[in-house]
Amino acid sequence: MGVTLGSSLELPCGAVLPNRISKAAMTEGLAKPDGRPTPELERLYGIWSDGGAGMLLSGNIIVDKDHLERPGNVVIEREPDADMTARLASWARAATRGGNHFWAQISHGGRQTQKLVNPRPKSSSDVQLALPGGQFAKPTPLTREEIADLVNRWAVAARACQEAGFTGVQIHGAHGYLISQFLSPRVNLRSDDYGGSLENRARFLLEIVRAVRDAVGPAFPISVKLNSADFQKGGFDFGDSLRVVQWLEAASVDLIEISGGTYEQPRLLGIEGQEAVEAQNVAPSTAAREAYFVDFAKAMQAEVSVPLMVTGGFRTRAAMEEALASGAADVIGIGRPMCVDTDAPAQLLAGAERLARYEDNLDLLPEWLGFLKRLQMMKAINGFAGIYWFYEQIWLLGHHGRVDRDLSVFKAFRIVDARNRRIMKERRAL
């Protein structure tokens, strides 16, 4: 019998995942205004731990409080005090009570930090996000000293999570966040050792991997989340991604999660961006299936042996097991279904054939505004509004242990937007 969803996986460092299903990283927005974990995070991850996944990935844990991915992120930017250590440990205990792994996803928003959080963000260079609405300011390039400080912060955060009882870490190098900004030739216009050639653009990521490995030792799992491509003209492409994966394998990374896109081109979420998707030189069969990045991962597996995780679009057991059997993926990531059906992994392991696609029915705009829904910008707005519906389900799980399947997209959008503003107001008052 071949590899199935219930098969265990031994990672290069020696750690063993009990099955091949991972709860993908999803932003929670449940931390205190100062970035400390809360009982709501414990309740949420306890529920997910009971759901049967072999691994849970946290949402963004940020290494700089001024570069949040969203208000309510957990923040670890220096050695934690006793209270922070206790909160992290309590969160980790709840998140591993089902015998699963719990890995901390460590990140930095860079230029994708909203003005609401920081009107003067830092990035690899001063290229501003090409999005309408003025929500993101033009960034300032990081100095070499600031880059060195950030590398150390990733190591500090990783060690803090390890000591608190997390069982692994993931370095977020995808989706247009800071590391991804360094990797992209479209965003990274530097002329020093961190810009220009791919080797230079990958230097920041590889220095972080090295520092984290030194901090946590050889037996602790380190993962990297990496774009298969940015899907933008002149951006980080599949050829770049394959070379970086080879360098990461040589740098002792234990698992690489293959994803794709940025805020400008949110490919992972199935949302249309502000420009046509840039084609990549990879087999086109993914378009005929449900999973977004399987073909990219399969092409990578032909060149490297490091285990790969694929997240994005999986809804049927058949597609998941096909990806495992073909060698395209070693771990299957499941995201949005677990915002509503928290035991989705257990259902799959028990033989369920299909997960619900709640996103198919989440429209902010009514049908009679169909002419607006066809506009490129409104497609993006409509898609992002649907994401807020999932945000609110996560909030309800954390606070009340339940979901609201009948919640309207418009109501969720208003609630989450108001809550984000309130959190930032409280944070500024600290």
Span 9-44, pLDDT tens digits: 999 999 999 999 999 999 999 999 999 999 999 999
pLDDT (average), residues 372-385? 56
Q: Is residue 209 part of a domain?
A: yes
Confidence at 374, pLDDT banded by 50, 70, 90? low
DSSP 103-149: EEEEE--GGGS-TTT-SS-EESSSPPP--TTS-SPPPEEPPHHHHHH
- pLDDT at residue 376 is higher than 60: no
Q: Is residue 370 part of a domain?
A: no
Give the predicted TM-score (pTM) of the model: 0.90
pLDDT of residue 116: 87
Helix-strand-coil percent breakdown of the chain, rounded to 5? 40, 15, 45
Map tokens 């993101």 to a residue: 136
Q: Is residue 218 part of a domain?
A: yes
Q: How far apart are CA 10 and CA 51, in angstroms?
A: 21
Q: Is residue 339 part of a domain?
A: yes
Burial class (CB in 10 A: 0-12, 13-18, 19+), 296: buried
Confidence at 259, pLDDT banded by 50, 70, 90? confident
The better pLDDT of the pair 35, 378 is held by 35
Average pLDDT, the chain: 88
Residue range 60-104, pLDDT digits in tens: 999 999 999 999 999 999 999 999 999 999 999 999 999 999 999
Backbone dihedral angles phi then psi of residue 280, each to the nearest 5 degrees: -125, 150
pLDDT of residue 380: 55
pLDDT of residue 384: 67
pLDDT of residue 2: 86
- pLDDT at residue 320 is higher than 70: yes
pLDDT (average), residues 273-284? 46
Q: Is residue 328 part of a domain?
A: yes
- pLDDT at residue 203 is higher than 60: yes
DSSP 194-252: TSSSHHHHTHHHHHHHHHHHHHH-TTS-EEEEEES---STTS--HHHHHHHHHHHHHTT
CA distances from 98 to 45, 223, 351 (A): 10, 21, 19
Note whether 152 and 211 are within 8 A (CB). Answer: yes
Number of domains in the chain: 1
- pLDDT at residue 277 is higher than 50: no
Q: Is residue 257 part of a domain?
A: yes
Give the percent of the chain with pLDDT over 90.
69
The better pLDDT of the pair 202, 314 is held by 202
pLDDT of residue 355: 94
Ranges 112-121, 192-201, 363-372: which has the least confidence: 363-372
Q: How far apart are the first and last CA of the chain?
A: 57
pLDDT of residue 197: 97
Q: What angle do CA 208, 212, 216 make, to 5 degrees?
A: 175
CATH number for the domain that contains residue 39: 3.20.20.70
The better pLDDT of the pair 414, 140 is held by 140
Q: Is residue 260 part of a domain?
A: yes
- Provide the token pair at 19: 């099955």
Host domain of residue 194: 12-357
- Provide the token pair at 93: 């205990």
Confidence at 360, pLDDT banded by 50, 70, 90? confident
